[in-house]
Structure 1
Amino acid sequence: MLKVFLVEDEFVIREGIKNNIDWETHGYEFCGEAGDGELAYPMIQRLRPDIVITDIRMPFMDGLELSRLIRRELPDIEIIILSGYQEFEYAKEAIKLGVAQYLSKPINGEELLAELEELSAKIEEKRRATQIRERYLKEMEENTLRERKKLFQSLVVGDNTAAELLESAERLGIDLSAPWYNIILFKTQSLRHAQDEYSGSLIRIEEELRSLEDGTTVVSFDRNLEGKAFLLKAESEEQLQLQQQEYIEKIKDIMEKYEHVRYFGGIGRPVNRLRELPASFEQASHAFAHRYLVQDSRILDGGYLAQGTEEEHFDIKQVNPKQIDRTRIQEFLKQGDREEVVYFVEEFFRDLSNKALQSNIFRQYITMDAYFCVADFLESLSTDTQDPETPSQDEKTQQDSDSAIQYIIRILDKALEARDRAASSRYDDVVEQVMKYIEENYAEEELSLNLLASHVNFSPNHLSMIFSQQTGMSFIKYLTDYRMNKAKELLRCTGKRSSLISQEVGYKDPHYFSYLFKKTQGMTPTQYRGGIK
């Protein structure tokens, strides 16, 4: 039911309009009235009517001035101006303001109702168009997330110019321009059983973290299983440090409410050029790699880690056995990313001692332990994989610490490559299930990423990631393309109405189907059926 507000300084006319129309019977709610624009405006702000009917000549604030305020602050409200004057200048000004109707007084109830009916149809049409656009943007949100991930990758790899990065960001509605930047990598993990991982607490945490992003000082990027990245922006280095500290405190305040969730963050170093963000990311990644080396929740500053001083002498008694616990490597082999191998190994040994690997005995022990850990992991994959390279295959490994570190990096990287290859093979079956499910259920409008994720027992984010990796496109693009191809087949091969075809390919709203068809195919369903190129 549309709400109508009346502004008229002549009491008799105002009462006549208000009382001579059965508003509710005709589908309207008469929500308020006022004798001039000055009194009306705060009431209009509070009541938010759909239509304002206003006289043009009133004391204190006339109808044109009121219309200007409404147009500027509440542009969705439609305005009907009533006037007993025929001056052309008033009409011209009303047209400039985008007033919907300019009517001459006196006007009877039937005439006004006829104008309201015409205006109501326009309002409904505009609302439907808005709803269609909003639905399209919501459904295509997965594509936007994918493009944001690609943008973040471009930011931290450093292969693009600043102009290219700014242009890519602008297409996504992201403002990257700022004198100073820093990166924080962040991840949460439920300490309860697996099914809690993607429900309840973590979903609420995600929503609360998203609420901190303002687009001006903080921009967030989803990194799939690696968590999130926050890009901080500021006008100066001092302001950046202050904003960074405030933001971290806000994150901690959120996380304190969830005792069963572990969190970990790594802070990069401030940089004052977009092209220098790879350096910030590298330092943040070093700090972030410590999540495999500690058990508690924390947010580490990579700058403080980099300032650690080297020990002059190595004594085996200085090594805490917990620091060389192979479960740390095992955990990394299960959850780590190939891009993190170097950071993990460097931080693993930084935690031990910068002089530890100068001991020949200790170097042999740690490399052999890493070898057995990797060999055991590869065997657990239950796939045909080659045995890892042994330390004895590279004599340099036995000679200096740098070679030992490179050896461990090498075998860990090979192990993760084998793990990802085995996972990819398993994911083929999952993606095949998803495609089969789409083929059998594409006509169901409720078909969604969340529904399919539940069907294959994955989290929506995880399924989105593997589907994109395996097919080269997002789930929503694949589903939309599949439905559009079915629609084109029906348009060309049958005489069915477009509204019926819409339902048969999963869109109950034929208006949305037509909008989406034109958006994706460049023409309307009718034009396609007629063979227009």
Structure 2
Amino acid sequence: MKILIVDDDVIIRKGLSEGIDWPQHGFELVGAAGDGEEALELMKLQTPDIVISDIRMPFMDGLELAERMNEMYPWVKLILLTGYQEYEYAKRAIEMRASEYLIKPIHNMALLQKVIELGAQIEQERTYTRQVQEGMPLLRQRFLQKLVTAAPGPNFHSEIKFLGLPLDKTVFHVMVIKIDGLTSPELLKRYSEKEIIKYCVHNIARELLGELGLTFDCEDDEIAAIVTGDNDPKRLFENAYVFAEELLVQIKRYVKTTVTIGMGGAYEGHEKLPKSYQEARSSLAYRHYAGTSQIITVHDTGLFADMNELQLAGLKKELYAKVKLGLSEDSLGVLSQLERKLFEAQLEWSQVHLLAVEIAVVVFQGMQEWDEEGESHKDFYTVCKELQELETVSDIFRYLRSFIEAITRDAMKVRDSQTKGIVLKAMEYIDQHFSNENLYLQEVAGAVHVNPTYLSIIFKRERDINFSDYLLEVRMKKAIQLIRKGELKSYEVAQQVGYPNPQYFSVVFKKYTGYSPTEYRNAAARKDA
């Protein structure tokens, strides 16, 4: 971590530079300047992490330096040195920019302690920034999926700015691109995995769309595209259609397969995105009648977002998620909604039976997530045969309700057992790898083969402690053992428990135990004597 010292007094400047052994404490002194102007010139050559500056200097004082740093280097921490008579002056500087201030005369140890604290703060900020950057693709994906299925929240503009999404226009249109024959043997033989095919289609769509909008994953074999603009909705829809036509050609030429594109309407205001998305999905559903490898618009089909089939599809997807998690009451609640929708739609009897079979398929798919042997309950063909023998809608849903109650009850038993096993494996992994400074939730989740968010939730539920707190506890307990032995120096202990920065380790250790490593070592020695 880099330090820059600024003071017009040569003696003080030299004392601060040479009076503290900066390298011993993990810091690099990159320069010493006589005023703010010289400091800014040095910062151009090698940007420091922390600047220690006097507040009263000729040419450019500490207050003006704080203003300039705020404009040019807002991430650099600033410590101001001031006299008692300059308190109000220093207060203004702190309100404007400075991280800390110290009153002269300054003791080197007090200054060093303040620098160490700021260093630890910088490390924490960098860790947070890195974690946010690593998770940004997932955050964008989840935000966009939510954006096209529900009305955006009041923080829409600040959220898209944070995520770096080009959605600050006034007119929006959504289309859904479905890859035809994604699981066909011929296509898989050429690309080996369907994810590679989807990746190719996604790249072509993103490049063709350019600055007109963005693309993101929705279903397994589908990609959504949001087209944006500041012109009128009719013109935007025409531009989107041109993009869709070119996409059909390019996919066929380069990927050697076809796609079918469903297009919703174009509307003013981002709050209409869910409407356009639902219309696009409705249009895409019409491919069973219109055929594949073409563009189908909501105007072509006459379908709208409140189409019964679309609502049923969403409920079936929700039912799958609830069964998969073994949530009995929630699953039955979704089933009741499906039953009401079916009565409202007044479908033909053959369609009712077809829907019942589709619901059975959804339930069995959810079962497969935890019932790997598939022997806990009736097999799929038996269920379908028994459903076909029923003669009323009420009988069909009564049968499905009983079936779901039985399987979700077993699912919870299996999931509870699996959860405990996953958490134990995660704890074992932490106990074996806590010395790794880059040990994060994502790595542990990958080691036990689960989603990081899911691991965080079940870890808290099973152990009544957050993942990060548990990792800290393991490291601190090991550090205490090593310090009590008295065989290693503090920085060696820090390295062995996953802290390459001994200053940051000291801060964390003191926060956990109430003592610095040295204080704890001395206290333990007196107790053992």
| TM-score between the two structures when normalised by the length of structure 2 | 0.52
| 2:89 corresponds to | 90
Residues 289 and 340 in structure 1, CA contact (< 8 A), matched pair in contact too = no
Letter of the aligned partner of 1:487 in structure 2? R
Work out whether residues 147 and 273 of structure 2, in 8 Å CA contact, stay in contact via their aligned partners in 1.
no
In structure 1, how many angstroms separate the alpha carbons of the residues matched to 2:82 and 2:250?
57
Equivalences for 1:286-435 in 2 at 5 Å? 288-289=284-285, 300=295, 302=297, 305=300, 339=310, 413=355, 416-429=358-371
Q: Given the superposition, is the C-alpha separation of residues 166 and 99 from structure 1 closer, same or farther in structure 2, using an over 3 Å criterion?
A: closer
Q: In structure 1, how many angstroms separate the alpha carbons of the residues matched to 2:63 and 2:245?
A: 49
Q: Distance in 2 between matches of 1:17 and 1:97?
A: 25
Counterpart among 456, 459, 462 of residue 486 in structure 1: 462
Q: Which whole-Å CA distance do the structure 1 matches of 2:46 and 2:219 have between them? A: 43
- Residue identity opposite 1:424 in structure 2: G
Say which SS state the counterpart of residue 442 (structure 1) adopts: helix
What SS class does the counterpart of residue 177 from structure 2 fall into?
strand
Q: Which secondary structure state, in structure 2, belongs to the residue aligned with residue 120 of structure 1?
A: helix
Deviation at 1:167, TM superposition (A): 3.8
Deviates more, 1:93-102 or 1:22-31: 93-102
1:81 matched residue in structure 2? 80
Deviations 1:102-126 (A, max 9, x none): 346676xxx3353133232243146
Which residue in the other structure is 1:192 paired with? Answer: 188
Distance 1:435 1:260 in 2: 46
Deviation at 1:3, TM superposition (A): 0.8
Matched, 1:229 2:224: yes
* CA distance, structure 2, for counterparts of residue 267 and residue 453 of structure 1: 38
Judged with a 3 Å threshold, the aligned counterparts in structure 2 of structure 1 residues 102 and 168 are, in CA distance, closer, same or farther, namely closer
For the residue of structure 2 that corresponds to 1:49, the secondary structure is coil
Q: 1:83, 1:105 within 8 Å by CA — same for their partners in 2? A: yes
Aligned twin of 1:441: 422
TM-score (norm 1): 0.51
- Post-superposition Cα deviations, 1:169-226, rounded to whole Å, max 9, x if no partner, equal 5796689886422112235558335995476675688799899999x98576652425
* Inter-partner Cα distance in structure 2 for 1:255 and 1:440: 45
Contact kept? 2:198, 2:221, Cα under 8 Å: no
Match in the other structure for 1:102: 101
Letter in 2 for 1:485: R
SS of residue paired to 1:154:
coil
Distance in structure 1 (CA, Å) of the matches to 2:48 and 2:253? 41
Whether contact under 8 Å (1:142, 1:476) holds in the other structure is no
Give, in whole Å, the separation in 2 of the partners of 1:26 and 1:453: 35
Shift of 1:68: 1.7
Q: Which amino acid aligns with 1:339?
A: L
CA distance, structure 2, for counterparts of residue 57 and residue 489 of structure 1: 49
1:354-407 deviations in Å (ceiling 9; x for gaps): xxxxxxxxxxxxxxxxxxxxxxxxxxxxxxxxxxxxxxxxxxxxxxxxx9x989
Aligned partner of residue 423 in structure 1, secondary structure? helix
What is the one-letter code of the residue matched to 1:499?
A: E
Structure 2: give runs of 5+ residues left out of the alignment.
303-307, 314-345, 373-410, 431-440, 479-496, 500-511, 513-529
Amino acid at match of 2:51: V
Shift of 1:4: 0.5
Q: Which amino acid letter does the alignment assign opposite residue 442 of structure 1?
A: V
> Match of 2:31?
32
How far has the Cα of 1:306 moved from its partner? 6.0
SS of 1:268's equivalent in the other structure is strand
- State how far apart, in whole Å, the 2-side matches of 1:451 and 1:498 are: 14
Partner of residue 183 from structure 1, selected from 174, 192, 209: 174
Task: Tell me if the contact between 2:6 and 2:53 (Cα under 8 Å) persists in the aligned partners.
Answer: yes
Counterpart of 2:69 in structure 1: which amino acid? I
What is the CA–CA distance in structure 2 between the aligned matches of 1:42 and 1:264, rounded to whole Å? 58
* Residue pair 2:20, 2:112 contacting (<8 A) in 1 also: no
Residue 499 of structure 1 aligns with which residue?
473
Are the equivalent residues in 2 in contact too, given 1:139–1:476 (CA < 8 A)? no
Local SS of the residue matching 2:23: coil
Q: How many angstroms does 1:64 deviate by?
A: 1.2
- Structure 2 contact 252–258 (Cα < 8 Å) conserved: no
Secondary structure of the residue that 2:188 maps to in structure 1?
coil
- Which residue in 1 is equivalent to 2:113? 117
Of 285, 288, 293, the residue aligned with 2:281 is 285
2:277 aligned with 1:270: no
For 1:21 and 1:409, the matched residues in 2 are separated by 82
User: How many pairs does the alignment contain?
Assistant: 380
Give the letter for the 2:78 counterpart.
I
Q: Comparing 266-275 with 411-420, which one deviates more in the overlay?
A: 411-420
SS in 1 for 2:267: coil
Gaps of 5+ in 1: 156-164, 308-336, 343-402, 461-474, 491-495, 511-523, 525-533
Q: 1:139 & 1:63 partners in 2: Cα distance?
A: 38
Distance 1:192 1:152 in 2: 30
Q: CA 1:221 to 1:212, structure 2 compared with 1: closer, same or farther past 3 Å?
A: same
Q: Which amino acid aligns with 2:265?
A: R
Structure 1 residues 293-338: Cα deviation after superposition (integer angstroms, max 9, x where no partner): 7776x7x36278569xxxxxxxxxxxxxxxxxxxxxxxxxxxxx96
Separation in structure 2 between the aligned mates of residue 22 and residue 230 of structure 1, nearest angstrom: 57
Cα shift readout 1:38-76 (whole Å, capped 9, x = no counterpart)? 453365366332211223344553321121232345333
Cα distance in 2, alignment partners of residues 36 and 212 from structure 1: 53
Deviates more, 1:91-100 or 1:272-281: 272-281
Distance 1:480 1:142, change over 3 A: farther
Q: Contact (CA 8 Å) 1:338, 1:413: kept in 2 or not?
A: no
Task: Give a deviation string over 1:449-478, Cα, whole Å, max 9, x none.
Answer: 99889989xxx8xxxxxxxxxxxxxx6665
Amino acid at match of 2:473: S
SS state of the match for residue 70, structure 2?
helix
* Aligned match of 2:400: none
1:219-258 to 2 correspondences below 5 Å:
222-225=217-220, 227-237=222-232, 240=236, 244=240
- Select between 478-487 and 247-256 the one with higher mean Cα deviation: 247-256
CA contact (8 A) 2:170 2:268 kept: yes
Q: 1:47 to 1:272 in 2, by over 3 A?
A: same
Could you tell me whether the CA contact under 8 Å between 1:38 and 1:61 is conserved in 2?
yes
Give the distance between the partners of 1:45 and 1:249, measured in 2 at CA. Answer: 50
How far is 1:267 from its partner?
Answer: 3.0
Secondary structure at the counterpart of residue 53 of structure 1: strand
Partner of residue 60, structure 2: 61
Q: Percent same amino acid at aligned positions?
A: 22
